[in-house]
């Protein structure tokens, strides 16, 4: 019978299971490989992430360091600039050498500001800025030394100026004193040179036909007054033209002045404006007595009473006299 052949059936089942076992082993191997690959990938990712963090941290540290350096350099620049501005403010007057140094310092400041204004400044640029700041500080010290030297020179000049001013003032005081003495002497000489009038002779004159004249004291008959006087000797007065002013005052007390006959005004030594009747130009000779004479013939009639005659020279009244004219009688 066919159903009794059992051993052949068992052999057939064993042969069928062999490929399945091989497939299971291959799957296990693939699984292990995939797990290892996955673990490797995760490991690489973790390693790369750590490296990235470290790089970022280094960059952050570098940026922080760069920013700190830039801030410090900007502070140093600000301090140096403030010192420099203070020096310029307190010393506005500079010579040409300091002016040239001033320009150089300003240019260096601009270069430093340009370097520090960069947000992504490199270490090389910061180092260049640091070197420029150090150079700027040296320039400022040099600038300060030059100013101190100029201040010393100015102090010396100020002292010399003060000495010269003191000497000038002393000489000026001496000069003023000498000038005052000279002026006093000149005033004395001026006053001493004033001429003096004396020996007055005043008469009334009646003019007759044929050019004849008659002396009279009757007011109605007087046509003119003849005034004469002497100018005394004076050793101080120099020879030359001398102005003599004669003032005739009427019996009513009014000065007689007729502009058409040469009357006018003059100033006295007291500064007073005074009316004169007649001005005489006398060619005086030094230290010699000289007689002066003139006739005064007015447009109006003479009246009876006292006529006062005053003589002025050099602003001073130097003499006076009176001439009385009588009132005429019935048969005079």
For 7-24, the pLDDT digits (tens) are: 544 444 455 455 556 667
The mean pLDDT value for 193-209 works out to 95
pLDDT tens digits along 85-114: 766 665 555 555 556 666 777 787 788 778
pLDDT tens digits along 253-309: 999 999 999 999 999 999 999 999 999 999 999 999 999 999 999 888 999 999 999
Q: Higher pLDDT residue, 132 or 291?
A: 291
Distance between CA atoms of residues 275 and 257, nearest Å:
7
Would the pTM count as exceeding 0.75? Answer: no
pLDDT value at residue 1: 43
Helix (H, G, I), strand (E, B) or coil at 247: strand
Burial class (CB in 10 A: 0-12, 13-18, 19+), 326: middle
pLDDT band at 122 (very low <50, low <70, confident <90, very high): confident
Q: What is the CA 20 to chain-centroid distance, rounded?
A: 118
Q: Higher pLDDT residue, 222 or 154?
A: 222
Pairing relationship of beta strands 273-276 and 197-207 according to DSSP bridges = unpaired
Distance between CA atoms of residues 293 and 250, nearest Å:
19
Residue 244 has pLDDT above 80, yes or no: yes
Q: What is the rounded average pLDDT for all residues in the chain?
A: 81
Residue 55 has pLDDT above 70, yes or no: no
Rounded percentage of the chain residues whose pLDDT exceeds 90: 39
The mean pLDDT value for 26-46 works out to 78
Q: Of the given ranges (42-56, 129-143, 183-197), which has the lowest mean pLDDT?
A: 42-56
Q: Which CATH number does the domain 197-325 belong to among 3.30.56.10, 3.40.50.300, 3.90.1150.10, 2.60.40.10?
A: 2.60.40.10
Distance between CA atoms of residues 178 and 59, nearest Å:
91
């Amino acid at each position: 019978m066919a159903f009794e052949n059992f051993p052949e059936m068992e052999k057939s089942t064993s042969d069928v299971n062999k490929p399945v076992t091989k497939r299971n082993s291959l799957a296990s191997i693939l699984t292990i490989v995939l797990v290892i690959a996955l673990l490797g990938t995760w490991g690489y990712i973790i390693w790369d992430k750590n490296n990235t963090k470290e790089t970022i941290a280094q960059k952050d540290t570098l940026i922080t360091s760069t920013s700190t350096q830039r801030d410090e350099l900007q502070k140093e620049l600000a301090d140096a600039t403030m010192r420099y501005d203070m020096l310029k403010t307190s010393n506005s007057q500079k010579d040409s050498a300091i002016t040239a140094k001033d320009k150089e310092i300003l240019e260096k400041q601009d270069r430093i500001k340009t370097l520090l204004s960069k947000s992504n400044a490199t270490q090389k640029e910061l180092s260049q800025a640091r070197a420029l700041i150090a150079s700027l500080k040296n320039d400022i010290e040099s600038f300060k030394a030059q100013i101190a030297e100029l201040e010393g020179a100015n102090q010396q000049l100020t002292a010399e100026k003060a000495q010269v001013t003191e000497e000038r003032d002393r000489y000026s005081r001496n000069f003023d004193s000498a000038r005052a003495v000279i002026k006093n002497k000149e005033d004395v000489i001026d006053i001493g040179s004033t001429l003096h009038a004396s020996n007055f002779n005043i008469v009334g004159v009646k003019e007759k036909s044929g050019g004849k004249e008659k002396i009279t004291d009757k007011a109605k008959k007087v046509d003119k007054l003849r005034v004469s006087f002497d100018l005394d000797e004076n050793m101080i007065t120099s020879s030359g033209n001398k102005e003599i002013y004669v003032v005739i005052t009427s019996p009513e007390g009014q000065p007689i002045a007729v502009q058409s006959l040469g009357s006018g005004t003059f100033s006295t030594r007291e500064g007073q404006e005074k009316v004169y009747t007649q001005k005489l130009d006398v060619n005086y000779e030094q230290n010699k007595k000289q007689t002066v004479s003139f006739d005064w013939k007015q447009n109006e009639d003479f009246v009876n009473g006292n006529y006062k005659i005053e003589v002025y020279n050099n602003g001073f009244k130097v003499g006076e006299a009176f001439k009385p004219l009588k009132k005429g009688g019935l048969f005079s």
